[in-house]
Amino acid sequence: MMRAIGLMSGTSLDGVDIALIETDGERVHVVRGHNNFLEPLGPTGYRGYSDEEKALLRAATKDAESVLHPGDRPGRLPETEAFVTQAHAEAVERFLAENGLRADEVDVIGFHGQTVIHRPDQRISIQIGDGQALATRLGIPVVSDLRRADIEAGGQGAPLVPVFHKALAEASGFDGPFGILNIGGVANATLIDSKGGVIAFDTGPGNALIDEWMQEREGKNLDDGGRTAARGRADEPLLAWLLMHPFFFRRPPKSLDRNWFSHKLAGQLSTEDGAATLTAFTARAVARALDHAPEIPTRWIVAGGGARNGELVRLLNYHLRAEITTADAIGWSSAYLEAQAFAYLAVRSLRGLPITFPSTTGVREPMTGGVLARPNA
């Protein structure tokens, strides 16, 4: 078993999630505690972004729209890449200090970086962040650029977490058919059937449109608990039109760029009705995803920031007609599941094990990925 740290800065642009787990890249070390409750996989940490830092990240995402080739770094992307690397380094240094760990007690870091553009059909997906600079500063090997090999081989490059979802589910003793739904800026689902087969894909927008709506209308980072949406009424004609987008008719595997949909589509609505409409859009997009499921899940485990949105979870209960459980309720981590996944993926990459599969990204055959940077390079 290796000790790995995973780092995740998602499309919600809220901050850096940090998680440490022990794994051999196949098994996940799970401990059952009192009343059969699953104990945490390991310590976690968080480094939030300031409003100024979020503005820089949004500017970089905007500048990335002009990218034509994977190596392009127009506008503020170089400056933002340096910031992302520094922020992650600071986050790890504080995490190690808070948990009494030395750098030589960590075998590898899985560094996702910050996605600024994702266009797999053009074989472009850019996660900014300098893996070599991070490894040199921290004195720990770093695996980064985990999507590139899959993209170059014709895959979607996303989602990457299903192989970890399956390992965690097996270690936890969960059988299919069930789904794991991660709601970050974009939402993605891993569906595990009764025979252990896995398909995975992005379902549609997650929190991003809701967060941007609340920022524009209320100056808030999110709809806390979904309370604003709960006071509103969804615009049914607008929802019906949104769900006619070609993305929802494509068979998986498929992935979504954060910028394919805009909160401004609800611009004519009141704050409450706009929040209700965008929240319902996320929930109904998940339900639409079941059109492509070989076996309908009877149980869902919901993770990511969306698991804390009570109105969104209520709508998922209504539309999915299945048992809905948050990751926290079973001893998993709603907030840090993706960071844990990137720790797991880093170990798989070190061992040359596949991280993407035909049923998760559409790549022709299972393949490994990631670029290894060593501290002494």
What CATH number should be reported for the domain holding residue 118?
3.30.420.40
Domain interval for residue 100: 2-155+365-373
Examine residue 262 and state whether it is found in any structural domain, yes or no. Answer: yes
Under 8 Å between Cβ of 177 and 298? yes
* Residues 319 and 203 grouped into a single domain: yes
Query: Are 138 and 212 part of one and the same domain?
Result: no
Tell me the two tokens of residue 243.
Answer: 């769900």
Q: Which tokens hold the place of 44? A: 């976690």
Q: What pLDDT, on a 0 to 100 scale, did the predictor assign at position 31? A: 75
Whether the model clears a pTM of 0.85, i.e. scores above it, the answer is: yes
Residue 119 placed within a domain: yes
Rounded CA gap, 256 and 253, in Å? Answer: 11
Q: Of 211, 184, 181, 179, give the one whose Cα is nearest residue 194.
A: 179
Whether 337 maps to a domain, the answer reads: no
Q: Which residues are part of a known binding site? A: 10-17
Q: Please report, to the nearest 10 degrees, the dihedral formed by the alpha carbons of residues 254, 361, 154, 283 taken in order.
A: 20
Q: 47 and 172: one domain?
A: no
In a domain, 169, yes or no: yes
pLDDT at 37: 65
Show the low-confidence residues of the chain (pLDDT under 50): none
The verdict on residue 223 lying in a domain is yes
CB 371 within 8 A of CB 145: yes
- The reported pLDDT for the residue numbered 35 is 65
Q: What residues form the annotated binding site for ATP?
A: 10-17
> Are 168 and 315 in a shared domain?
yes
- Residue 168 and residue 147 in one domain: no
Structural domains counted in the chain:
2
Residues 305 and 178 grouped into a single domain: yes
Rounded Cα distance, 296 and 353, in Å: 29
The answer to whether residue 259 sits within a structural domain is yes
